[in-house]
Amino acid sequence: QVQLVQSGSELKKPGASVKVSCKTSAYTFTHYAMNWVRQAPGQGLEWVGWINTNTGNPTYAQGFTGRFVLSLDTSVSTAYLQISSLEAEDTAVYYCARITAVAYAFDIWGQGTMVTVSS
């Protein structure tokens, strides 16, 4: 069945970088845009942005420009989220989520990757 499988938990020091992967299976990767969503501990969902899997063109939500970079490797049907200059406030679960083109709905989600930033 359609799956998004994310990389494992990360523990990083402030100022470091992290790259989270989201490997897809059982569907045509380029037929759906890929989104990233952040959920800080005990908090709600925040849309980070999405990437067009045909063109590789990313769109970032306000507050997620500069240190957040979305990328792809279409040869292995995988999307990536890289965060640089990590801050304690970046501590959160990060989800990848496939979006339906016509309904703007996140129909399939990854299991989430916990990124902890601590000295």
Give the binding site for another protein (CB under 8 A).
35, 37, 44-47, 50, 59, 61-62, 95, 97, 100, 103-107, 109-112
- Give the count of beta carbons closer than 10 Å to the beta carbon of residue 116: 15
For residues 96 and 94, give the distance between their C-alpha atoms in angstroms, rounded to a whole number.
7
Q: 45 or 88, CB closer to another protein?
A: 45
For residues 78 and 100, give the distance between their C-alpha atoms in angstroms, rounded to a whole number.
17
Q: 56 or 104, CB closer to another protein?
A: 104
Smallest separation, CB 111 to another protein (Å):
6
Amino acid at 27: Y
Which token pair is 23? 């490997």
Smallest separation, CB 84 to another protein (Å):
23
Which of 119, 79, 81, 112 is CA-nearest to residue 9? Answer: 112
Q: 2 or 16, CB closer to another protein?
A: 2
Smallest separation, CB 92 to another protein (Å):
14
Q: 1 or 119, CB closer to another protein?
A: 1
